[in-house]
Structure 1
Amino acid sequence: MRRRLAGAGTVIALAGLAASLAQAAIDLVVGFRAADGAEMSELFGRVQSHAAVQLAVYDVGPLLFYVGLLALIGSLVSRRGPVTVWTAAAISLGIAVMGISLDLMPTGGALFLLAFASVGRAERALARS
């Protein structure tokens, strides 16, 4: 069960990462091609007018990364290994903070860093014993 959850979490997180990379690529191409703000708005309008692109690249796709991340953390918590409930809570809080505003991305990143640093310390402690 845990392996299936981890496998599904990995696939879902990678799909979300791919959507985020596609979004960044679109943003860069539009930025380089547009001569001014009006042309940039028009090019974005053309790209985002396709319902599948809007849904997969801008609306739902990037969120899949966070869903996959939670599934991966959940599979680690369930094995009672180096990941504690506190780690899962810090990651969940980091996701929530980033969802509130993109201006809070550094705060969410700091929460991720704290959570994963504790995982690294616990892994090293387990390896030593």
Structure 2
Amino acid sequence: MNPRIPFVAAPLLVLTYGVIRIFDGLDGSRGPGLAWTSGHLAFIAALAFFVPVFLQMRRLAGRNTLSTVSTSVGILGILAVGTQFAIDIAVGFMSADHAGMSVYFDQIKSVPGVPFLVYDGGPFLFYLAQLALVVQLAAAGRVKVWTPFLVLLDLLLPFLNKDFIPLGAVCLLVSFVPLAGQVARTARPAHALA
């Protein structure tokens, strides 16, 4: 796979999720249904692309201890967010309406450890690691100094209002495009790996 693809695909898929989420809520509630499922699948696909993004950022940062820890923490966060979205999809399939979804979510969140690992704590690892890696790259002069600010903006906008997810995704895309170019320029040719 072209090493640039994940840096473009991940933010575009987050953007897709954010737009679908807005349309899903136009009737006053979100889920269950096609919009709920397709939006969540788009975000899970984005998470899959974030794995090579994190690995490439680690490589650009020099594969040192800090970048390795940040990448490992980020992948744990990806697993937490992925679990959350997989649960959301399953609940959507099992529920006839939004009220039915709430019942299932209450049952799931009553399981000890699940709220922290899957909803309240674990997902933050994904976002913090993303910011940590970009800050490391900025400190090493591998990205422009404004790049961490765009990534931080992407992370903060949904806390203000989840309808800002698409705007945050655009910020992330703008910050990732130069990284994609850098990754492509510094990637070893396939024949050099033999």
Which residue of structure 2 aligns with residue 14 of structure 1? 75
C-alpha displacement at 1:126, in angstroms? 6.7
Question: Residue 176 of structure 2 is aligned with which of 90, 112, 116?
Answer: 116
Q: Give 1:1-129 correspondences, 5 Å limit.
A: 3-81=64-142, 83-121=143-181, 123=182
Q: Relative to structure 1, is the Cα distance of residues 125 and 49 closer, same or farther in structure 2, using a 3 angstrom cutoff? A: closer
Identity %: 34
The gaps in structure 1 that reach 5 residues or longer are none
Q: 2-side partners of 1:125 and 1:17: how far apart?
A: 24
Q: Relative to structure 1, is the Cα distance of residues 118 and 52 closer, same or farther in structure 2, using a 3 angstrom cutoff? A: same
Structure 2 residue identity aligned to 1:26: I
The gaps in structure 2 that reach 5 residues or longer are 1-60, 187-194
Q: Which has the larger displacement, 32-41 or 101-110?
A: 32-41
C-alpha displacement at 1:105, in angstroms? 0.5
Q: 1-side partners of 2:99 and 2:116: how far apart?
A: 24
Aligned length: 125
* 3-state SS in 2 of match to 1:80: coil
C-alpha displacement at 1:110, in angstroms? 0.2
Which of the two has greater helix per residue?
A: 1
Deviation string 1:63-114 (CA, Å, 9 cap, x unpaired) is 1111000111122112212x12111111111111122221100000000000
Q: 2-side partners of 1:113 and 1:41: how far apart?
A: 33
* 3-state SS in 1 of match to 2:108: helix
C-alpha displacement at 1:23, in angstroms? 0.7
Q: 2-side partners of 1:38 and 1:91: how far apart?
A: 35
CA RMSD of aligned residues (A): 2.2
